[in-house]
Structure 1
Amino acid sequence: MSIAEVGRFDLPGFAGTLIHPLHSGYDEARRVYNGMIDRRPAVIARCNSADDVVLALGLARREGLPVSVFGGGHAVTGSAVCDDGVCIDLRGMKGIRIDPAAQTCRAEAGLNWGEFDAATAAHGLALTGGRNPTTGIAGLSLGSGSGWLERKFGYVCDNLISAEVVTADGRKVVASETENPDLFWGLRGGGGNFGIVTAFHFRLHRLGPIVLGGVLLYPAPMAGAVLRNMRDFIRTAPDEVGTGMAFTTAPDAPFVPEPARGKPIVAVQLIYAGDIEEGIKVLAPFRAFGPPAADLVQPIPYRR
């Protein structure tokens, strides 16, 4: 791209940062979680506000360019970036306002779950969120939102009160049960193609900030038995129990017994969203199975 071509993307009134291929931060700005994705937008519009989003969207319409929206960049398909188009980057929008008494919050769409959880945990509050803290809140929420607390508090979309949205024609609207309810219906699990959500209003829940949680590691040959144990355990487990499971390679880390390091393992994640002493009793039957190569379940901060 020549300097003359860069001038094509001048955007008067835009308060954020326009990052073009000649910009020193371009390659870092277009990088997504899936390292196999290598797309090159014509311009990355890092927005500071919903007004910036309106302007960036107008630029794409004016130039007849495709649009992508970058929230956390975690989608395996790399949909946060597009070739030769306008990438509307929300990572400059990380404001969060919490009402501890009402147990609600307004969270801007550029936050990731680690940032969100740190803010809510300071008030002893939480929301079902991403299992990976670097996942953006926007993409997960719009795709329904599975997480550690879903059995207790529902999916993220079950806790959405309203959303602030920029529509394809550049209008700023609010979607809720009483305002644009058809749009609200689509946003609650229907994916990210109904508009650009710039902020979410969520219902929060009392939790922690310390919970009982952690991971158990089992040798790979025990995989079948571990799965059967999980199936039998979760059938009667209370809703306070959250689980996850991964088939992976044990890291070379101090918390992993030396004989297990670098070996295939089954990693089982457990959390109890309630009283810690009660959680110890509830998780005991599962933890008694094994023995695991390591049992790291302990009282920990939820935002960890």
Structure 2
Amino acid sequence: MNGNSLLSLQEKVRGPLTTADSPDYDTARAVYNGMIDKRPAAILQVSQVADVIAGVNFARDEGLDLALRGGGHSAPGFGTCDGGLVLDFTNRRGVRVDPSTATAWSETGATWADFNHATNAFGLATTGGIIGSTGVAGLTLGGGIGYLSRKYGLSCDNLKSADVVTADGKFRHASATENDDLFWALRGGTGNFGVVTSLEFTLHPVDVVYGGVAIYRLEHLEAVGQLYRDTIATAAEELGVFVGVHQGPPVPFLPEEHHGRPVVVLVGAWMGQHDEGQRRWQPFLDVAPVAGSFVGPIPYPALNTLFDPLLPKGLQAYWKAEFLPALTDEVIKLAKHHGETIPSEETANHFYPVNGAVHRVAKDATAFPYRDVEFAAVIAGMWENPADNEANIRWVRDYAAALSGHSAGGAYINFMDADDQSRIRDNYSGNYARLAGIKAKYDPDNLFHINQNIKPAT
């Protein structure tokens, strides 16, 4: 691709086109994972749908790799590429709310912090992640596990429709009544099927919740983990809590003696009445000595951004994951064993509940198939110094290898890294063949392949 080709693209779009000659190129090409250092031929800052259509047509006709960047949070760095074109939605972060119909429309570049800020003004929310800087589109298209999953289902279960530009450059609306096969695939199939330019969500009454964080020394993981497992199995669906292992964070409510030491964390909230929330939290506060806690009434957007100050853009990152049929005593012991050497303040090992409302959706109702597991485990390795890459990646891989013996077969697609492509069929289980067929219909030449890639059926 030469400069004349890029000039022809710039003439067709309104958003700026950043190339290696641009003074802000290094800033524009950076993604959330600091380990990713790729050099696109050009980065198009999308200004409107017309830019997306032009960008898709250009990449297809020029035979270029095409990367899609919403929030840019992808651990494998799928929001960029070498030598290709990046469609960057960073400046498209609008969220519109209609409180009368409990509906919200989000642009592709919006983060969950953006979304929750907009909807909380009306006392409403939908299922998002646990990091405010995560992109709304990326999380939703991969499924969307979060604090509200047990009560209201996954993010993709709350998706009512989406606008999509497919590989042929056509604009399509996808919903239960229009391009319904595409709509089915989008709900869990990630960015394999086109460029999503807008998402419509169902909202629910969520405002100030009762929750926060409780932290314990690692030696108490068995007691905390077993109580958590047994409680979450039958608890009312208003309880959205996960358990995990960290290094003690430098937060005011945790004494300094625990900072940087392996700890157990319990994070989440009760979504109902606050007096009931206090009662629901009390067993967790009584099960073992609490090293530090911050639990009480908290606005839902604040809960969703609790981890953000600890996880700035630019950290090195390498992740692994599994779906678990149960949080067995053996899995808890594994977490404790590997937690003893957890390598950084930013690294997290979490076990998210995947029950309640998630189980009430059929396996084949959306592309997200794991509707009968109990937990989604993630080993999210994150750290500052690139000199620590080899040792920290080894820690993640060793733990993941041990955990794989307890797997339900696949893992949550949003937690997979770039070297997990071999697991793609397992991760979609019985839905893979249908996804491959839909891929062949909307993207037969696999233009959208910078992702956990679903190959078009032949």
Q: With structure 1 as the length reference, what TM-score do the two structures score?
A: 0.95
Contact 1:94 1:107 in 2 (8 A): yes
Structure 1 stretches of 4+ moved >6 Å: none
Matches within 5 A, 1:251-290: 251-290=249-288
Matches of 2:262 and 2:4 in 1, distance apart? Answer: 53
The structural deviation recorded for 1:254 is 2.0
Greater CA drift, 242-251 or 162-171:
242-251
CA distance, structure 1, for counterparts of residue 85 and residue 297 of structure 2: 45
Question: In structure 2, what residue type is equivalent to 1:285?
Answer: P
The farther-off stretch of 217-226 and 76-85 is: 217-226
Q: Which amino acid in structure 2 is aligned with residue 14 of structure 1? A: V
Whether the aligned pair in 2 keeps the contact of 1:161 and 1:203 (CA below 8 Å) is yes
- Find the residue that maps to 1:283 and give its secondary structure: helix
Report what 1:8 is aligned to: 5
CA apart distance, 1:31: 1.5
- Aligned match of 2:91: 92
Q: Is 1:6–1:20's contact at 8 Å kept on the other side of the alignment? A: no
Deviations 1:19-68 (A, max 9, x none): 11121222122212221111111100110111111111122123221101
Secondary structure of the equivalent of 1:101?
coil
Q: Secondary structure at the match of 2:76?
A: coil
Q: Find the counterpart in structure 1 of residue 171 from structure 2.
A: 172
**In structure 1, the residue corresponding to 2:37 is in which secondary structure?**
coil
| Deviation, structure 1 residue 94 | 1.3
- d(CA) in 2 for partners of 1:48, 1:253: 39
User: Once the 2 structures are TM-superposed, how far is the Cα of residue 7 of structure 1 from its aligned partner?
Assistant: 4.2
Equivalent in 209, 214, 217 of residue 216 of structure 1:
214
- Separation in 1, partners of 2:239, 2:86: 39
Give CA-to-partner distance per residue, 1:84-107, whole Å, 9 cap, x none.
000111112112211001000111
Which residue of structure 1 aligns with residue 206 of structure 2?
A: 207
1:67-146 to 2 correspondences below 5 Å: 67-146=66-145
User: CA shift at 1:69, angstroms?
Assistant: 0.2
- The residue aligned with 2:434 is none
Q: Report the Cα distance in structure 1 between the residues aligned to 2:252 and 2:280, rounded to whole angstroms.
A: 28
Q: What residue identity is the alignment partner of 2:283?
A: P
The residue matched to 2:232 in structure 1 has which SS?
Answer: helix
Question: After superposition, what is the alpha-carbon deviation per residue over 1:233-252, rounded to whole angstroms, capped at 9, x for unaligned?
Answer: 21221100111233111123
After superposition, the C-alpha distances for 1:91-148 in whole angstroms (9 at most, x for unaligned) are 1211221100100011111100011000000110000001110100111100111111
* 1:34 alignment partner AA: N
8 Å Cα contact 1:46-1:90 kept in structure 2: yes
CA–CA distance in structure 1, aligned partners of residues 3 and 246 of structure 2: 45
Say if 1:237 and 1:282, in contact at 8 Å, map to a contact too: no
Per the TM alignment, residue 294 of structure 1 is displaced from its structure 2 partner at its CA by 0.9
For 1:268-304, what per-residue CA distance to the aligned partner results, in whole angstroms no more than 9, with x for missing partners? Answer: 1021111111111122222221111012111111101
Q: Aligned partners of 2:259, 2:93: CA distance in 1, in Å?
A: 38
Question: Gaps (5+ residues) in structure 2?
Answer: 303-458
Kept in 2, the 8 Å contact 1:242–1:272? The answer is: yes
Aligned partner letter, 1:195: G
Counterparts of 2:98 and 2:298 in 1: how far apart (Å)? Answer: 24
1:300 maps to what in 2?
298
Equivalent pair of 1:107/1:200 in contact (CA under 8 Å): yes
Secondary structure at the aligned position of 2:233 is classed as helix
SS at match of 2:190: coil
Hey, what's the Cα distance between the residues in 2 that align with 1:232 and 1:60? 51
SS in 2 for 1:297: strand
Q: Secondary structure at the match of 1:296?
A: strand
Give SS of 1:9's match.
Answer: helix
Quick one: distance in 2 between partners of 1:276 and 1:224? 28
When normalised by structure 2's length, the TM-score is: 0.64
SS at the partner of 1:192? helix
Q: Which amino acid aligns with 2:31?
A: V
Deviating more after overlay: 180-189 vs 16-25: 16-25
Whole-angstrom distance in 2 between the partners of 1:34 and 1:92: 19
Say if 2:57 and 2:167, in contact at 8 Å, map to a contact too.
no
Question: Is residue 223–residue 287 contact of structure 2 (8 Å, CA) maintained in 1?
Answer: no
Amino acid at match of 1:84: G
Mapped contact 2:211–2:277 kept (Cα < 8 A): no
8 Å Cα contact 2:241-2:268 kept in structure 1: yes
The one of 222, 225, 228 aligned to 2:226: 228
Counterpart in 1 of 2:17? 18
RMSD: 1.3
Structure with the largest fraction of helix: 2
Distance 1:252 1:132 in 2: 18
Higher RCO (C-alpha 8 Å, min separation 6): 2
Distance 2:250 2:176 in 1: 50
Separation of aligned partners in 2, 1:152 and 1:251? 29
Report the counterpart of residue 58 of structure 1 in structure 2.
Answer: 57
Deviates more, 1:242-251 or 1:188-197: 242-251
Paired-residue identity, %: 45
Partner Cα separation in structure 1 for residue 93 and residue 210 of structure 2: 29
Q: 1:303 is paired with a residue of what secondary structure?
A: helix
Q: Which amino acid aligns with 2:195?
A: I
